[in-house]
Structure 1
């Protein structure tokens, strides 16, 4: 392990405490800088001497902290990108690297050891190594230059690391090019939520009456609950499903996955993205917008201010002019604009992971698993875990034909069951090069060809140039035999094995549709019975349905990207009103009203009439928006409380996290499912439940937010009719360093659109003339 005692390139001369003005006479406007112990964040003007830069570069910040990086050559631009990322997000980068490596216990101690065990088992460095090996040599060199920029900042700040690193006396390793690919692999892994969902399903099956399972994990409002899929799991022998060791290991894995969700900021972020063709827009020019979202907080949420997953950047050199959103630690623009092409990448909510229950035994000193009617030796490798404050431990990790074993046999047990994870992977993946070429592409036509090589990352990709728009789903998706992959399957059952991967020709795609617009908001993308399975873990359709209604109103203006979604909820209000008036519900509601005390009947009846009279197609008044949120919050809190409160706390947390990212069971029950056993087991009927909550939420006056309403995190808008097409807005700080002036976003800057020019003539107007200049070390 190489620590920060010296740089991994020619030695850095000792930096002068003060740069003499006479030596910088040619750099008008530069101030003297003293980079001593008091400096805990990068200054925003002056001159710094940095080892590794070839000529010079400049960094400017706007009021929201979005950096402009200027360099006269491509080498220095990449170097400065690494330096800038480290200055803004060093804690995030180092923590995610430790997470991907399975080394968090080195920083945080034994409480993170199970997360480390999980990540070592998954073994992301192996995937990262393949991705890096398949990248062209020139792209590998770009990653190396970028890593040198990170290391230059690490060396400069070795005695002034951000507080959460410094307080543990942590000495980080140097950054390597492969570390950037490792973070990209972690991002890819995090785009599929099926590991957590399937483990949750197994834990629920082990702790609840079996009749409840499919009702707690709905797929979509118009799809029946997955009764047949649940029965395949529930019909496993009781000696398997309720094996004491498997039950304990599943619960422990559930808790570990909760921890993983809390520390993994790369987990598939919810987002709404759309693009409009020139003929459909008000300015007769293409539009593209991306709105990334912060999920509503849960009891697991960190109260410390957290920056968004992505970091803004504006890159300028003779070889490249582009701006957009990046993952700190990765020298690729994930969504952005290069002067000709705009693109956004958002989560497709992919199902590319399956959990298999493996039958295990110890035989002749080796672990074996049952497959193809015979016992097979499990692959094994040794791993050493370093733990802060404790002695290192060495453990054996195992792998079956399906993939890594996430739970194995208890000590001193000769037989039992474990859980293996199978993931979609391709040995000849060229995703890194695809993303790099996408950044340089100049048209929708060329970009649609490029993104077909984006196989490692399951995503919705929206594209726009001045004349055309397009949408393409990317990734690698398994063909499942007799299974949808919703719940864990028996590893010894060949009838549910994977049969290769879906043909990319089947991936959903569209270009220049007649309707004039395309959108992606984590919604269901294919109908049941489509020729391939992308997922059964979609988000709630509300954002997508509301967005579709707005986009269908010709002409579309760029202001759509900034609309207040809390007061625009036509789909949900319509669904609720239809539910209240459908079938036998009106009569049931009338009966429920009559059961109320006489003094409440008139008020209750009026509340029902008032809700039915809300105009769903108009923006809600503040009063109605608050009423709706309170009603949903109460339904969310109370609906399953009686049945789930006896579950282990880790299982309750896992269920809450699942409801954040996938279509939630509580909303599914509010909108329908009158035949659910949860209504039958409740002391009140559904009508009673609705009446109680509609009335109490109407009378309350507290402000709440539910998991159905995530808040905006970042907005990217490209309007081809404007002189500066790209505008960017943030709702959180750009930096994760508490000493940075951009750690918390000023209220005046939150949600405000700032231009990010890609043409040189517009730069000073957007950023002013103040610069931090980086020069070679002497």
Structure 2
């Protein structure tokens, strides 16, 4: 999410009058412009904002508090908040969140409301239109209706804490806001619920996946597209899904989503393209050295600065809980309360479906065909106020299936244009799960932190329906897993590819009952683990997803959890930091043994190009000796990564290319964000797949020929990148981590002056690059876009281990610092600890708390 603002032009103007600090902002921007010329911009900005950092000790008067609250911080700025009543606790957490992550919170708020352009300018208008189309405000209002009075009061008090900080810092805002010249509005309880709705939207992948399917089908046809959307290694290619598109003009259908597809860079930059994963597991006491349960969680999110999570420990009477909070909400998302611990992963739920609609105009009004009847769309109007631009009003239209996306979203992701012509042959409507009338999710999330046992937590978990997750939880003597969320029941089809909306055959008929969602308590194996894999049998009667992740991470959890009955906190930290890829031995089995291995050797032996043959044999030799550990310094890991990249191109690029085509970009998206066609072709599919043949040659190539060519190409790639001595090859030289703010990631869409400014400020806001171990198959995940580049885009955004046998059970680490202010020492001090595999203790004993949290800020009520 937005964490660092870009500078804006000197012709700044806002018709709403929200930017009272324009003159001050212009002075800052003018100073920066001068220092840009002098090459000292970063030092100036750092100096300017370092002098305005909040004190971490002392006394502050906070009007509205009933009693004194202490906020103690440790050496990494992680707060321990202690209050005498829950309302004061909520208010103090609001103040602390604003102090640590105000830029991030304002980014969350503006994105959820579709108003980011009011701060960031017209470059992000297309994102705003998309967000208004999603109507998160409506979802948030539905959730808010069911929040009980006690929890509403906590949200009100939390908002008062945020606003107290805003009021006292209106002339001392953090860089991400001040450099944009933006004046934040007051925080409201509904804003907190919007943040929750925003995170839920960010966990949904099906819309970009189905748009990608249309773009791919436009290039190769629906039936061949099915080969590129495999569901799981033991499941058939989804030809039945592709059959839905038979007889539909795919070129016209894909044209209808061109604007949405163009949004992907913006959605990716703010973490909203359904890119999240995660590991969690729990090991029962009969498999641990000390006889008590151990729970682990590492949530995988796009690599960003700062991390999504804000670590905190809060105490108020019997409410004593530590863990990962989301700035903007007074809730511990994953954590430990002295009795139970809980963590989560994505189910990879398919809770969005795209419907193609037949449209026509009747008496000047847009209509759509549904069950042989032409029905009028419903309409609502929205006004957009981009910074420096005149207000624009757009009309949003809905069918029975949901909002029409193509009439609301523009083709160009940078400049706002009018909705597409109503003569477009197909509309594109989105069905997605929204809160039900009785949704009790937020009350349940509040209550979860009070649970004293697994048995108490189970019914609470089942009440959380607004967000689809694998919840793994434990107490000292028990472990459990519960799938939560809303999952649609379809009259026909499985929702993997877009459906014709006019027949009604593929409509949703309801939601799965909580009672049928998978769950287990204390399984015979003695452990539970989820890693976004297919957690249900192939013959499970309900469709939770068709977009599972690769199975290798889950298989590695099983392998390592089964390896000993004497698990400790150290063995579980070792699991989280593990970089062994189970895909490597599987690939070696295919290309080094058996019939295919012989065909590969025969193909290499037939080449007249001696250098090419030598490169292929070198690659085979390195892979033969490779132990499968994707360490940053490994030459085998480097060769493996290069092979995966080039084989992806060699199998698919001839039909989906060139690399800048919509079809190829769409393929890269689906191939890297769920179980991929590349791994499916390498390990499962033989010559029956049409993609082994290179259509640009007169011959018909085989699987063995393409793999042989890819081995040679991988070695050639490494020689070009790292030299002819394989001993000097290393995975970390190719594969890197770079922590970037969302604004930096959006810089390519800004104007020249803004891009130049962000370039000069790059080192101020961002960190890296650093060598990265791991890949898509390792527990210590570091995903990159195979077929595009080696830049890490998805990481464990946090790590948590809770060993109930320990005097202080909880250890955790965040992937960035505690603060979103680049001038703070706590902006990036967590990065090195995270990279080094270190963990921080979250003590619950009074003496340990006093020893660790040495900086004490006292919040006093106004007398």
**Does TM, scored on the shorter chain, surpass 0.5?**
yes
Partner of 2:517: 507
Partner of 2:370: 371
Partner of 1:277: 284
What do the CA deviations read for 1:223-263 (whole angstroms, capped 9, x no partner)? 22222211322x1332xx322xx543311111124312321
Alignment CA distance shift 1:131-1:741 (3 Å) = same
User: Cα distance, 1:638 vs. partner?
Assistant: 5.2
Partner of 2:415: none
Alignment CA distance shift 1:345-1:251 (3 Å) = same
Question: 2:326 and 2:632 mapped to 1: Cα distance?
Answer: 36
Partner of 2:851: 765
Contact 1:438 1:450 in 2 (8 A): yes
What do the CA deviations read for 1:193-251 (whole angstroms, capped 9, x no partner)? 10111111112222344454122222222322222211322x1332xx322xx543311
Partner of 1:535: 545
User: Cα distance, 1:72 vs. partner?
Assistant: 2.4
Partner of 2:200: 188
Contact 1:524 1:538 in 2 (8 A): yes
SS at match of 1:739: coil
Question: 1:654 and 1:40 mapped to 2: Cα distance?
Answer: 45
Question: 1:229 and 1:471 mapped to 2: Cα distance?
Answer: 31
Residue 859 of structure 2 is aligned to residue 774 of structure 1: yes
Alignment CA distance shift 1:579-1:760 (3 Å) = same
User: Cα distance, 1:635 vs. partner?
Assistant: 3.4
What do the CA deviations read for 1:499-541 (whole angstroms, capped 9, x no partner)? 2112222111111001000011111112333111110111122
Question: 1:618 and 1:189 mapped to 2: Cα distance?
Answer: 32
Q: What pairs with 1:489-504 in structure 2 (closer than 5 Å)? A: 489-504=499-514
User: Cα distance, 1:602 vs. partner?
Assistant: 6.6
Question: Of residues 734, 740, 761 in structure 2, which corresponds to 1:704?
Answer: 734
Question: 2:734 and 2:577 mapped to 1: Cα distance?
Answer: 12
Partner of 2:233: 221
Question: Of residues 149, 164, 167 in structure 2, which corresponds to 1:155?
Answer: 167
Contact 1:64 1:730 in 2 (8 A): no
Question: Of residues 178, 188, 209 in structure 2, which corresponds to 1:197?
Answer: 209
Partner of 2:644: 632
Question: 1:260 and 1:523 mapped to 2: Cα distance?
Answer: 24
Residue 488 of structure 2 is aligned to residue 478 of structure 1: yes
Question: 1:41 and 1:634 mapped to 2: Cα distance?
Answer: 48
Deviates more, 1:678-687 or 1:494-503: 678-687
Question: 2:451 and 2:427 mapped to 1: Cα distance?
Answer: 46
User: Cα distance, 1:652 vs. partner?
Assistant: 4.3
User: Cα distance, 1:771 vs. partner?
Assistant: 0.8
Contact 2:203 2:272 in 1 (8 A): no
Contact 2:309 2:797 in 1 (8 A): no
Question: Of residues 669, 685, 694 in structure 2, which corresponds to 1:681?
Answer: 694
Residue 246 of structure 2 is aligned to residue 242 of structure 1: no
Partner of 1:22: none
Alignment CA distance shift 1:488-1:159 (3 Å) = same
User: Cα distance, 1:747 vs. partner?
Assistant: 6.1
Partner of 2:6: none
What do the CA deviations read for 1:114-150 (whole angstroms, capped 9, x no partner)? 2212211211111111111111110111111111111
Consecutive unaligned residues of structure 2, counting only runs of 5 or more, are 1-15, 22-47, 409-418, 720-724, 736-774, 783-794
Alignment CA distance shift 1:507-1:379 (3 Å) = same
SS at match of 1:68: strand
Alignment CA distance shift 1:444-1:413 (3 Å) = closer
Contact 1:110 1:388 in 2 (8 A): yes
Contact 1:659 1:707 in 2 (8 A): no
Residue 744 of structure 2 is aligned to residue 733 of structure 1: no
SS at match of 1:117: helix
Partner of 2:297: 290
Q: What pairs with 1:181-580 in structure 2 (closer than 5 Å)? A: 181-233=193-245, 235-238=246-249, 241-243=250-252, 246-264=253-271, 267-295=274-302, 306-408=305-407, 413-414=422-423, 416-425=425-434, 426-555=436-565, 556-563=567-574, 568-580=579-591
Question: 1:179 and 1:550 mapped to 2: Cα distance?
Answer: 42
What do the CA deviations read for 1:566-617 (whole angstroms, capped 9, x no partner)? 8643521221122225663122112122034446757744653553455569
Contact 1:113 1:387 in 2 (8 A): yes
Question: 1:640 and 1:257 mapped to 2: Cα distance?
Answer: 21
Partner of 2:747: none
Question: 1:4 and 1:174 mapped to 2: Cα distance?
Answer: 14
SS at match of 2:374: strand
Question: 2:17 and 2:801 mapped to 1: Cα distance?
Answer: 43
Question: 1:453 and 1:526 mapped to 2: Cα distance?
Answer: 21
Deviates more, 1:454-463 or 1:624-633: 624-633
Kindly report the root-mean-square deviation, in angstroms, between the aligned alpha carbons of the 2 structures: 2.8
Contact 1:757 1:763 in 2 (8 A): yes
Question: 1:134 and 1:154 mapped to 2: Cα distance?
Answer: 28
Alignment CA distance shift 1:224-1:266 (3 Å) = closer
Alignment CA distance shift 1:158-1:2 (3 Å) = same
Contact 1:486 1:536 in 2 (8 A): yes
Partner of 1:129: 141
Alignment CA distance shift 1:391-1:649 (3 Å) = farther
Consecutive unaligned residues of structure 1, counting only runs of 5 or more, are 7-35, 298-304
What do the CA deviations read for 1:651-680 (whole angstroms, capped 9, x no partner)? 544443434431233333333423322211
Question: 1:346 and 1:175 mapped to 2: Cα distance?
Answer: 29
Question: Of residues 58, 70, 76 in structure 2, which corresponds to 1:64?
Answer: 76
Deviates more, 1:687-696 or 1:44-53: 687-696
Question: Of residues 54, 65, 70 in structure 2, which corresponds to 1:42?
Answer: 54
What do the CA deviations read for 1:150-185 (whole angstroms, capped 9, x no partner)? 111111221222223212211111100010011111
Contact 1:718 1:725 in 2 (8 A): yes
Partner of 1:103: 115
Partner of 2:807: 723
Partner of 1:32: none
Question: 1:412 and 1:623 mapped to 2: Cα distance?
Answer: 54
Deviates more, 1:617-626 or 1:188-197: 617-626
Contact 1:251 1:651 in 2 (8 A): no
Partner of 2:63: 51
Question: Of residues 601, 612, 628 in structure 2, which corresponds to 1:590?
Answer: 601
User: Cα distance, 1:543 vs. partner?
Assistant: 1.3
Contact 1:335 1:343 in 2 (8 A): yes
Contact 1:567 1:625 in 2 (8 A): no
